[in-house]
Amino acid sequence: MNNYGLSKTCTRLVGTAAIAMFTMASMIMNNAAYAASAKDNVPSGRTPVKIVDGQYPASYFPNTELLGADEMRITALGTGMPNQTRAAVSISYLVELGNGDKFIFDIGSGAMSNLFSLRPDFSKLDKVFASHLHVDHVGDFMGLHIGGWLSGRYNPIHLYGPTGSTPELGTKAFVEGMQKGYAWDLATRSGALPDKGAQVVVHEFDYKQENEVVYQQNGVTIRSWPAIHSLDGSVSYGLEWKGLKYVFGGDTYPNRWYTEYAKNADVASHECFLPPKALAEYFGWDLGQATYVSTRIHTEPQAFGKVMSAVKPRLAVGYHSVQSPGNNAAITDGVRKTYDGPLALARDLMVINVTKEIIKVRMATVDEYVLPPDVTQAYKDAPRSDKKHPSKWTMDGKWKGYTPPPMPKK
């Protein structure tokens, strides 16, 4: 294993395929091939350039690389547990395509800070696909909704997610509850921020549907199938575009749908939970409870390996753990008992570039402190209603001992 959790097998595979690919690719790719992704509104001071001859920098520096017209970039925004840490926040993946489209799969608690560290064009981050409604998968949805609205999104945000076994357990009810809960927040900002950005459009679909389309636009097809996790109403997704396929497993016990519909994935991600003993030690649980959670509610490493041996993706990605050195060793040992193919154990801000020919795994290099991304003129021009103000009663409570400076002239 190297520092990035990429197995030797994968390094070898990537290296061999890379030589053939880059000779060909450098002849084919030209500026036009990169034109679509160049449309991103990037922060001032950053100029994305195309990658020549597959010579990716060792680290991914956000907003410095143009995606190829047939290239996909997958960034693990969160790979940890519900009790997020600075090293591993809760689950989220960002998928960016060479046509400029961007998709977020799950947005667990804490994922927003990693997303923000990439200084993305928030006007394009308007599609979230929720695997299920655990807080470690949707806890930062309102953070993205409001934070993205503050940072460049001037259109509605779309949340795709499953029904539950009853209406109140479905995605629609989740959003309605969130909007009620954040009524005060939304009221303070509406009028000051672009009106349309306040809206959430929910696309709720039947959790039982098997490999049915939940999204299809601009050459991108996203399908869902059921997962087995806690209660009914957990799903997995497969994204297909230009002959590339990324699968996001969500949370699940090994199931027959995943092993069938994840087939032909270039990158198949699936939870790879701590094995029982390591989980018991981590949480201080007894071994019985840890065994139940690790092997009945989730997928422990040997089971993950068996799933990947059945699916045979170009790269298997495991996530949903806390990566201490001891835990990592326990996870890797388990996986390698049942799977010897290409493997990456995802860490927060791991970046995977995918083309037909290569798969490149790196870590992103980001600053602890980043400025908000620049917003577009369209964001500045988007209609805003009149701003609301506190009542006269509240305003009369202003302390007379302070006078604010005059407002600047327009």
At closest approach, how far in Å is the CB of 320 from Zn ion? 6
* Binding residues vs Zn ion (CB under 5 A): 134, 136, 251
To Zn ion, the closest distance from the beta carbon of 266 in angstroms equals 24
For residue 180, what are its two tokens? 């009620």
Closest CB to Zn ion among residues 139, 148: 139
Are 364 and 74 contacting, i.e. CB atoms less than 8 angstroms apart?
no
Q: Which is nearer to Zn ion, 131 or 302 (CB)?
A: 131
**Vertex 226: Cα angle to 224 and 232 (nearest 5):** 130
Residues in Cβ contact with 22 at an 8 Å cutoff, skipping those fewer than 6 apart: 53, 54, 55, 357, 358
Closest separation between CB of residue 137 and Zn ion, Å?
6
Given the complex with Zn ion, which of 119 and 134 has the nearer CB atom?
134
In the complex with Zn ion, which residue's Cβ is closer, 10 or 91? Answer: 91
Is the Cβ–Cβ distance between 68 and 34 less than 8 Å?
A: yes
Q: What is the rounded CA–CA span in Å between residue 153 and residue 196?
A: 9
If you ran DSSP here, which 8-state letter would residue 369 be given?
A: S
Give the nearer residue to Zn ion in terms of CB position, either 188 or 230: 230
Task: Compute how many other C-beta atoms are within 10 angstroms of the C-beta atom of residue 200.
Answer: 17
- Give 134 or 347: the residue with its C-beta nearer to Zn ion: 134
Comparing CA positions, the residue from 234, 277, 276, 279 lying closest to residue 255 is: 234
Cβ atoms of 5 and 339 within 8 Å: the answer is: no
Is 172 strand, coil or helix? helix
Q: Helix %, strand %, coil % for the chain, to 5?
A: 35, 25, 45
By beta-carbon proximity to Zn ion, the closer residue of 63 and 131 is 131
- What count of residues does the chain have? 410
The one-letter code for the residue type at 353 is N
Euclidean distance between CA atoms 246 and 238, whole angstroms: 6
